[in-house]
């Protein structure tokens, strides 16, 4: 669910549903050959209100009007707005009260963007720095002549200055990448405009930007922020991959946190890199002394507050350390929901299948069965153990859940899993057939029904769980600024 205002100033709520499309075997309709995760847009409705209560009411009415069973809801995803993600009174909390299996996960790429935004807001120096970066772009972009002079200095137009977008951190990386690797070229253009421009206002503006860019603290911030965003950019791009799975998403975030923590101990390396960049333009690589201020230290710093007499040390504590500390803290706190889902489903992760004993796998499987008692049979634990025994030698740290899902499609594995006791067919109730037809082809509220998607019977086996995890838990598009939220449905059982 997401809302947007139309041209008539009416708030419209959009509905997106993610569901499982079961591809049945040509020879045996009781065998699932594949499970494809699909996501469809069902249309707009006028928003009944912005409160969680109003949204729950509208959601329940939407399910009823489309003949969808609320009992089949298994996941929900929204942005971080309080009325959507609130732990006690948000929409996700209201839905969990009615359907405990509908786990909420905040979009990982959007969440990562919020982490970076929080790190900037905590420091006045960083806020001023990004204001300067935007001013630098605006100075060149607002004049065709100035922009032409600037682009002549760059080897490629794609490396020129980029505009900052307040909601997309990736735009900041592009801007800082240009600043970091074309620092001298930008200063050369500013110097040329200062000396040759016939307009006094242009001369003065170019001179002001040039002086700011020649400040060593600005150079350090360019290097520091470029390093931070280089780490998070790799993670964000991976999170938006269409083939990403939740296990690897969690690992990527953990790796980013470790890299940021290591960077916290590399202050001198950042200073040295900035000094080399500054010397290339003849800038004195030293911080300008400011009036002494009393700065509160972090827990791992000095045991009590004391005045800092050194500008470099002041920058390290009040800008460098605090920025990285906020990122580390936010990476831990903002992804608790995702990590809880990872913990619940870890029984199907390659590292767990490879390293844990049969008893551990059975225990983890039983915990999953207990939570999804309406979706998994008790034979699931034995299916997992049998699957591991067959492919134990081929399971290594480099494979993903997607790889396991592909293995589970092999005839030998499918036969093994289907042979387990309790793998009985599930009947699909007639009331759910029409909605699944509608979901496959719907692009508006008036979309015509399509062919039946689901077989009349399906078999509950381990490949189902593995294939469901082939879906990306972060959207396969640029969702760093948020995106249309979605609800996840599972096929019904009698």
405-458 pLDDT, tens per residue? 766 544 333 333 333 322 222 222 223 333 333 333 333 333 333 333 333 223
104-154 pLDDT, tens per residue? 888 888 888 889 888 888 889 999 999 999 999 999 999 999 999 888 887
Do 354 and 213 share a structural domain?
no
Do 118 and 258 share a structural domain?
yes
pLDDT confidence band for 192 (50 / 70 / 90): very high
**Mean per-residue pLDDT of the chain:** 77
The predicted structure's pLDDT at residue 309: 61
* Percentage with pLDDT > 70 across the chain: 76
Do 136 and 9 share a structural domain?
no
Torsion of CA 88, 89, 90, 93, to 10 degrees: 50
- Domain contains 352: yes
**Which of the two residues, 399 and 283, has the higher pLDDT score?**
283
Cβ-contact 236, 107 below 8 angstroms: no
Q: CA-based diameter of the chain, in Å?
A: 87
Do 443 and 309 share a structural domain?
no
- Report how far residue 250's alpha carbon sits from residue 296's, in angstroms, rounded to the nearest whole number: 33
- Domain contains 477: no
Do 155 and 24 share a structural domain?
no
Q: What is the β-pairing status of strands 103-104 and 294-295?
A: unpaired
Q: What is the β-pairing status of strands 73-77 and 103-104?
A: parallel
- Domain contains 350: yes
Averaged pLDDT for residues 224-229? 94
Do 301 and 168 share a structural domain?
yes
Contacts 24+ apart (CB under 8 A), 233-238: 233/170, 233/173, 235/112, 236/109, 236/112, 236/113, 236/169, 236/170, 236/480
How many of the other CB atoms lie within 10 Å of CB of 284? 11
pTM: 0.73
CA quadruple 33, 39, 43, 45: dihedral sign: positive
- Domain contains 494: no
Do 101 and 73 share a structural domain?
yes
- Domain contains 431: yes
Domain boundary among 302, 334, 366: 334
CA quadruple 159, 164, 169, 171: dihedral sign: negative
Cβ-contact 193, 206 below 8 angstroms: yes
**H or E element, residue 64:** helix 52-65
Distance of CA 481 to the CA centre of its chain: 9
Cβ-contact 16, 3 below 8 angstroms: no
- Domain contains 473: no
72: containing domain? 2-106+337-468+483-489
Averaged pLDDT for residues 35-52? 85
Alpha helices (H) along 265-378 = 267-279, 311-315, 322-333, 336-344, 350-355, 358-371
Do 262 and 406 share a structural domain?
no
Do 307 and 225 share a structural domain?
yes
Q: How many domains does the chain have?
A: 2
- Domain contains 474: no
Do 266 and 137 share a structural domain?
yes
Do 300 and 275 share a structural domain?
yes
Q: What region, left, alpha or beta, does residue 394 occupy, with left being phi > 0 and alpha being psi -120 to 50 degrees? A: alpha
**Which of the two residues, 65 and 421, has the higher pLDDT score?**
65
364-376 pLDDT, tens per residue? 999 999 998 888 8
Domain boundary among 282, 311, 334: 334
pLDDT confidence band for 269 (50 / 70 / 90): very high
* Percentage with pLDDT > 90 across the chain: 27
**Which of the two residues, 435 and 213, has the higher pLDDT score?**
213
Ranked by mean pLDDT, the top range of 229-238, 251-260, 332-341 is 251-260
Do 181 and 314 share a structural domain?
yes
- Domain contains 251: yes
Averaged pLDDT for residues 93-108? 88
Give the helix, strand, coil percentages of the chain, each rounded to 5: 55, 10, 35
């Amino acid at each position: 669910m997401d809302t947007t205002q139309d041209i008539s100033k009416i708030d419209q709520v959009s509905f997106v549903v993610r569901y499982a499309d079961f591809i049945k075997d040509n020879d045996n309709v009781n065998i699932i050959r594949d499970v494809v995760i699909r996501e469809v847009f069902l249309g707009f409705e006028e928003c009944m209100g912005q409160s969680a209560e109003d949204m729950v009411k509208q959601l329940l009415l939407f399910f009823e009007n489309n003949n969808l069973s609320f009992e089949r809801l298994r996941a929900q995803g929204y942005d971080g707005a309080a009325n959507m993600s609130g732990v006690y009174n948000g929409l996700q909390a209201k839905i969990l009260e009615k359907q405990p299996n509908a786990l909420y996960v905040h979009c990982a790429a959007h969440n990562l963007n919020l982490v970076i935004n929080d790190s900037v807001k905590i420091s006045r120096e960083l806020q001023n720095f990004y204001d300067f970066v935007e001013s630098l772009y605006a100075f060149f972009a607002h004049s065709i002549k100035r922009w032409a002079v600037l682009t002549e200095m760059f080897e490629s137009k794609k490396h020129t200055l980029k505009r900052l977008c307040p909601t997309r951190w990736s735009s900041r990386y592009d801007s800082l990448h240009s600043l970091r690797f074309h620092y001298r070229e930008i200063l050369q253009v500013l110097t040329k405009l200062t000396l040759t421009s016939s307009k006094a206002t242009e001369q003065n503006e170019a001179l002001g930007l040039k002086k700011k860019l020649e400040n060593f603290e600005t150079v350090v911030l360019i290097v520091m922020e470029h390093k931070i965003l280089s780490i998070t950019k790799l993670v964000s791009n991976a999170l938006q991959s269409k083939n990403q799975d939740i296990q690897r998403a969690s690992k990527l975030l953990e790796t980013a946190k470790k890299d940021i923590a290591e960077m916290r101990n590399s202050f001198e390396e950042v200073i040295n890199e900035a000094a080399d960049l500054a010397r290339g333009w003849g800038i004195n690589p030293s911080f300008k002394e400011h009036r002494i201020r009393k700065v509160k230290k972090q827990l791992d710093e000095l045991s009590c507050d004391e005045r800092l007499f050194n500008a470099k040390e002041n920058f390290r504590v009040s800008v460098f350390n605090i920025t990285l500390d906020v990122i580390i803290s936010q990476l831990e706190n903002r992804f608790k929901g995702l990590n809880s889902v990872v913990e619940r489903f870890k029984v199907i992760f390659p590292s767990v299948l490879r390293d844990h004993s049969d008893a551990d796998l059975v225990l983890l499987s039983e915990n999953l069965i207990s939570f999804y008692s309406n979706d998994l049979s008790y034979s699931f634990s034995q299916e997992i153990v049998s699957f591991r025994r067959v492919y134990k030698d081929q399971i290594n740290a480099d494979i993903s859940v997607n790889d396991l899902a592909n293995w589970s499609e092999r005839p030998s594995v499918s036969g093994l899993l289907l042979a387990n006791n309790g793998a009985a067919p599930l009947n699909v109730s007639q009331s759910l057939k029409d909605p699944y037809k509608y979901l496959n082809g719907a692009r508006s509220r008036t979309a015509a029904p399509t062919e039946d998607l689901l077989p009349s019977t399906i078999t509950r086996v381990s490949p189902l769980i593995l294939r469901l995890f082939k879906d990306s838990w972060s959207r396969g598009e640029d969702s760093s600024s948020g995106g249309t939220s979605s609800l996840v449905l599972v096929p019904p059982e009698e």
